[in-house]
Amino acid sequence: MTFGENTIFPAAISGVASRKRKYHPTNSTKERKRRAMSSMTDTMEVIYRDIFDLVNYTAPDPATTPPLRHIEQQPQGVSETFTALTDLLLQDMNDSAHKTVVSELEGAYWTSVHATGFNFQAVAGADTPTRSDSEAVISGNHERAGMLMSRFIGTTDPQARYHSAFTLAVVWSRYWRLAQECGWKTVAVLLHSSRFRDFSRAANLTRWGELVKLIKTNVMSIQLLGSFNTGWYKAFSDAIPDADQVLTDQERVGYDGHYHHWRVPSDPNAKVAERHSTGFEVGDYTKIGNNGEAFARDPRLKRGAFDISQPCGACGKTSGECHCNLENWSPARIELVSTVGRGTGVRALQSFKAGEIIGEYIGELISNKASEDDDDLYVLWGHKNAHERDSYSTTSNHYGNWTRFVNHSCEANCVIEHVARRGKMLSVYRLTKDIAMFEEVTTNYGEGYFLGRGLKCLCGVEKHLHPLM
């Protein structure tokens, strides 16, 4: 099968770019739902950003983590109960990971009940903890208990020390219930986000319920993100003996160092995120090759002296001001998802504005001739500004990054552009529409891609680019 300039991604460049469609809000049910959820996705977006920003998170130093104020002030009996429960949960680690956080939260619950003399069960509707023997066990390990509670219940921020025990009781009941519904890992990851913690203190019941709904449909996504971006896993294994053993359960998502090896299942109830088994490798594997033979030089290099005063083709700024890091591009918060019938796709974990560049299409560089000889689903045909003699394509068939998973839509929101940057041609994905968090990123492969292969387009829009698609 041979691809022409207009049969695969380049069609998106010439075709869709010149036919820009503006986004018009409609009164459809879908649109109404979208608007209603948008304020909550704003919150979710900040929570995700907080978690993304935790790549370099280091767990608080137990020696310097201040104990909680209400713990300092509570009467002796309560302190003993609290300590006892925390120790109990440490001993119970072999039971199950889920139980652990429930125990922690039970400990917190009892602490609050004793500190305030108020049983929030009636207010928050939480079930009563069952550890009737808790008051009898005393170990005196107060500092460790405080450290653990702060670390895993997320109250290390100084402000939390001044919240009333009542507020904490309500908040803890929320965490506790969330842990029961979404698993302790989800709570542990979320608690790294200050927005999440603030929200759980400030939101009324209705708003909290809306957020919980959103969390429940994205449990795997949050857990996966947490595995790669938070220090909780390390903090947890450092603090708890046998943590590894406990964590090696069915729900564990792999930790192989690359976030984009994993895709979030479309079924929110699925336990395990799937790892890519296509043999495809993720990474910046841009290589120069012509079916085994190397190009004489990198065919993306533009001829003539490299003029540093030329603006960057990606951001339009001059080189002093340009901070594009296209060679190792990964700033966009996106994730891979399994779609129905269309394989793996890409969805946004933040909102983006039309015009933003979200990633570079990378892969092996092959000659155009080689790409014509092979029915390669991932080939990006030719670069417009490349010198004819060095004409080449990029394929992410074997190597590439997440951009290879961008699916086709007949109402796409993204195009590929070839831009010159520092004397080199790069292929980048630029958005043509604003997109919201959780929306799929799509591009236009061109109708020839589907018609030429007899493939059916499953993008789901009412009117396809071609009636036979």
Ligand X SMILES: C[S@@+](CC[C@H](N)C(=O)[O-])C[C@H]1O[C@@H](n2cnc3c(N)ncnc32)[C@H](O)[C@@H]1O
Candidate segments 27-35, 90-98, 128-136, 342-350, binder of ligand X by CB under 6 A = 342-350
Q: Which stretch binds ligand X (CB under 6 A): 117-125, 187-195, 297-305, 339-347?
A: 339-347
**Rounded to whole angstroms, how far apart are CA atoms 218 and 145?**
31
| Sole window of 178-186, 196-204, 283-291, 336-344 interacting with ligand X (rule: CB under 6 A) | 336-344
What is the token pair recorded at 247?
A: 């964590």
Does 187 participate in binding ligand X (rule CB under 6 A)? Answer: no
The single residue among 258, 342, 424, 464 that binds ligand X, judged by CB under 6 A, is 342
CA nearest 86: which of 69, 99, 103, 70?
A: 103
Under rule CB under 6 A, residue 457 binds ligand X: yes
Q: Does 393 bind ligand X (CB under 6 A)?
A: no
Stretch that binds ligand X, among 153-161, 192-200, 341-349, 368-376 (CB under 6 A): 341-349
Helix (H, G, I), strand (E, B) or coil at 60: coil
Residues 6 or more apart whose Cβ sits within 8 Å of residue 94: 242, 245, 246
Contact 161, 79 (CB under 8 A): no
Query: Would you say 329 or 378 has its CB closer to ligand X?
Result: 378
| Contact with ligand X (CB under 6 A) among 230, 344, 432, 444 | 344
| 246 three-state secondary structure | helix
Q: What is the signed CA dihedral for 258, 351, 221, 125, rounded to 10 degrees?
A: 150
**Distance in Å, CB of 165 to ligand X, minimum:** 51
C-alpha span between 5 and 86 (Å, rounded): 65
Amino acid at 293: E
Closer Cβ to ligand X, 7 or 150, answer by number? 7
From candidates 343, 369, 387, 461, binder to ligand X by CB under 6 A: 343
Q: Does 375 bind ligand X (CB under 6 A)?
A: no
Assess 395 for contact with ligand X (CB under 6 A).
Answer: no
User: What is the nearest approach in angstroms of ligand X to the Cβ of residue 443?
Assistant: 9
Give me the residues paired with residue 357 across strands: 430
Among 172, 175, 176, 378, binds ligand X (CB under 6 A): 378
HEC string of 35-95? HHHHHHHHHHHHHHHHHHHHHHCCCCCCCCCCCCHHHHHCCHHHHHHHHHHHHHHHHHHHC
Residues near 339 by Cβ (< 8 Å), separated by ≥ 6? 266, 345, 407, 440
Choose the stretch contacting ligand X; rule: CB under 6 A; options: 240-248, 266-274, 404-412, 415-423: 404-412
350's CB contacts (< 8 A; 6+ apart) are 45, 48, 49, 332, 333, 437
For 425, the 3-state DSSP assignment is strand
The residues near 324 (Cβ < 8 Å, ≥ 6 apart) are 312, 314, 315, 357, 421
Asked if 464 is part of the footprint of ligand X (rule: CB under 6 A), the reply reads no
- DSSP H helical segments within 240-292, as ranges? 243-247
Minimum distance, C-beta of residue 445 to ligand X, in the bound complex (Å): 7
The interface region with ligand X, picked from 23-31, 243-251, 385-393, 452-460 by CB under 6 A, is 452-460
CA distance 252 to 63: 30
Residue 3 binds to ligand X (criterion: CB under 6 A):
no
Instruction: With contacts defined by CB under 6 A, name the span among 77-85, 238-246, 298-306, 453-461 that binds ligand X.
Output: 453-461
Q: How far is the CB of 338 from ligand X (least distance, A)?
A: 8
Please give the Cα distance from 410 to 342 (Å, whole number). 14
Candidate segments 154-162, 169-177, 201-209, 337-345, binder of ligand X by CB under 6 A? 337-345
CA-atom Rg of the chain in angstroms: 26
**Nearest residue relative to ligand X (C-beta):** 343
Least distance CB 16 / ligand X (angstroms): 14
Q: Which is nearer to ligand X, 408 or 418 (CB)?
A: 408
Query: Are 105 and 176 contacting, i.e. CB atoms less than 8 angstroms apart?
Result: yes
3-state secondary structure of 371: helix
Pick from 37, 377, 436, 451 the residue near ligand X by CB under 6 A. Answer: 377
Rounded to the nearest whole angstrom, what is the least distance from the CB of residue 98 to ligand X in the complex? 32
- Within 94-134, residue ranges assigned H as helices are 97-116, 121-124
Residue 398 C-beta: closest distance to ligand X, Å = 12
Residue 429 as a binder of ligand X (CB under 6 A): the answer is no
Could you say which of 286, 350, 407, 432 contacts ligand X (CB under 6 A)? 407
Strand partners, 289: none
Smallest separation, CB 269 to ligand X (Å): 22
Q: Which residues bind ligand X (CB under 6 A)?
A: 342-345, 377-378, 404-405, 407-408, 457-459
